[in-house]
Structure formats: C-alpha cells, structure tokens
Amino acid sequence: MVALSVDVLFDAAVRIQLLECSITISFSQDTIRIKFPTTRRLAEFLDVPHYYVLPYFAMMEQEELVTRAERVGIMTTANGSRKMIGIMKAQYEAEIVGIIGHMIFTEITKKCQTD
C-alpha cells in the first residue's frame, strides 16, 4: 500500500490528469485554480480505501492548498496551484505540454510564480 501524504496526493492528481488527458484550469484576475480529481478517484487510483485520503484533504484545506465547493469539486488555491505547477514542471512537463501546449504552460507557470 502507498504511504499517503499531501505530496503523494498532488502527484497522483497530476498523473490522473495525464492519464485522462484532461486538465481543468480556471482563470480569474487574482489566481489560477486547477481542478483536483475527486477523493474517490484519487483513492481508486492509489488503491487505498476512500476514507484514507479524507484526512489529507482536511490538512490540505487547513494549509490553504485546496478548497472544496459543493457541486464544483475540489480546486487548488493560489498556493496549491503553485505546488501543482511545480510538480508538473519538475516531473511531467513534456506530458503536460503535450496536452495544453507550450505557450499555455509557460504562461500558467509565469502567472503562478507572480501570485
């Protein structure tokens, strides 16, 4: 079984996005938010019981990395977006660029660095 942590969940979220070739990004004047997979999808992907991931989401909310909104889902905050973009850039840049393109990834990276 995978030893869970906030970093493991962020990495799994990126890998799920790559697997599904789908990244949902919301832009606002202040920040970029990236949609997280559901807690059930993450648990399934990591092959752990659903209730194992829930405390980590509570921690991520407390650390202001994600926010949950009813009927919207889980979205990163500015801090969470920086963390996720950092993982994408460090480990999966070629794959991410293959989905969203070099120019968009570069602009998102710049925006997350200035938030």
Domain 6-114 has CATH 1.10.10.10: yes
pLDDT over 80 at 80, yes or no = yes
Q: What ranges do the domains of the chain cover?
A: 6-114
pLDDT in tens, 14-54: 999 999 999 999 888 778 999 999 999 999 999 999 999 99
Q: How confident is the model at residue 1 (pLDDT cuts 50, 70, 90)?
A: low
Stated pTM of the model = 0.91
Average pLDDT over residues 73-94: 94
Average pLDDT of the residues in 58-82: 92
**pLDDT tens figures, 97-114:** 999 999 999 989 988 875
37 closest CA partner among 1, 7, 91, 75: 75
